[in-house]
Amino acid sequence: MGTNMSKKPALRVGIIGGGISGVALALDLCRHSHLDVRLFESAPAFGEVGAGVSFGANAVRAIAGLGLAEPYGQVADRTPEPWQDVWFEWRRSSDAGYLGASVAPGVGQSSVHRADFLDVLASRLPEGIAQFNKRAASVEQQGDEARVLFTDGSDYRCDLLIAADGIKSAIRNHVLEGLGAAPVAPRFSGTCAYRGMIDSLRLREAYQAAGIDEHLVDVPQMYLGLDGHILTFPVKHGRIINVVAFVSDRSSPAPIWPKNAPWVREASQREMLDAFAGWGDAARVLLQCIPAPTHWALHDLAELPGYVHGRVALIGDAAHAMLPHQGAGAGQGLEDAYFLARLLGEPQLRASDLSALLESYDALRRPRACRVQRTSWETGELYELRDPAVGSDEQALGATLASRFDWLWNHDLDADVAEARARLGWATLSDCA
């Protein structure tokens, strides 16, 4: 023991899962001397399955709030000028007729390749914080301590355990059981997506040859049809066009994905083209430029009755995995990380505050994340002309889509943090320090 007896021992914070939310949170928390942070990742190294991920204005603000604006800027893409504020232009599937546009001022379509973003985040993590080949098997709690057991037989004890281990979370059911709720497994949405990347010069040439407007290459597009929709947006500074073509099978109200079938597989171009037979030239020529698409079965989670049990909290997809139709899933994980980082980073934080802190996290973050989950599903219905109010009414569709996402993008996360601080009896002044 040192002579300075007044120094409190650092609070031990364990983070399970080295995806974007977990690493972003660890990066912020490890700056604080009152916290001892450890991050555990099941894989041998950081890495995400390669796919583009998009961020709304709310997520871009959370990224900046976590001190990550500069690394994000290094790898992020946005729509080229003069269309930099366009999120998507909406078009008819049959002939690419214009239905309207959604504009996100100052942000537009902001996206990044998951692996690129994770690389730049992980490279900033100080030595010794992350441990690999650590797959969580189970959690137990005793008193004010959580203990996570790993499949390699080792364990870790902490004052706070944060599960950022994704839609297939190993820790979620511990929380639900603690709340007296039934376990929740990922559910298949009935929608599958074909994904591919196209060299933008190749697409431009193909569109020129077919007499299709090249504007469709430069600006994010979404083609809307019955039970299907296709989105495109430029990435890698316009050199590559990211394409995701969604198709929904509505034959069953509760579709089931075969237990042993992989969620992601290789697909043939023929299979993809057959799924969009009868669509117009812009869609057909686009898909013909993808020789070997991948096929993704889209899963989400039901809204959970709680994200916290004792000293264990769920964040990101472990708590609220959602469909990608609002480009909002990763952003909700980053909002979780920002909210917790602002509170856990408070120098006056004591172990005795943790229960109230987690209570405020659940009370303030869960209703919003649940709403984003719910509306992400509803938005997919809208895109595929199945919205009960709008259907295939093109005028209503254009008008609805123009303003539909404002509540999502314009959310004031700092007001949530201020509300949590008030609940904890903390002055808000130190936020300005």
HEC readout, the chain: CCCCCCCCCCEEEEEECCCHHHHHHHHHHCCCCCEEEEEECCCCCCCCCCCEEEECHHHHHHHHHCCCHHHHHHHCECCCCCCCCEEEEEEECCCCCEEEEEECCCCCCEEEEHHHHHHHHHCCCCCCCEECCCCEEEEEEECCEEEEEECCCCEEEECEEEECCCCCCCCHHHHHHHCCCCCCCCEEEEEEEEEEEEEHHHHHHHHHHHCCCCHHHHCCEEEEECCEEEEEEEECCCCEEEEEEEEECCCCCCCCCCCCCCCEEECCHHHHHHHCCCCCHHHHHHHHCCCCCEEEEEEECCCCCCCEECCEEECCHHHHCCCHHHCCHHHHHHHHHHHHHHHHCCCCCCHHHHHHHHHHHHHHHHHHHHHHHHHHHHHHHHHCCCCCCCCCCHHHHHHHHHHCCHHHHCCCHHHHHHHHHHHCCCCCHHHCC
421 as an active site residue: the answer is no
61, 92, 195, 368: the active-site residue:
195
Positions annotated as catalytic residues are 195
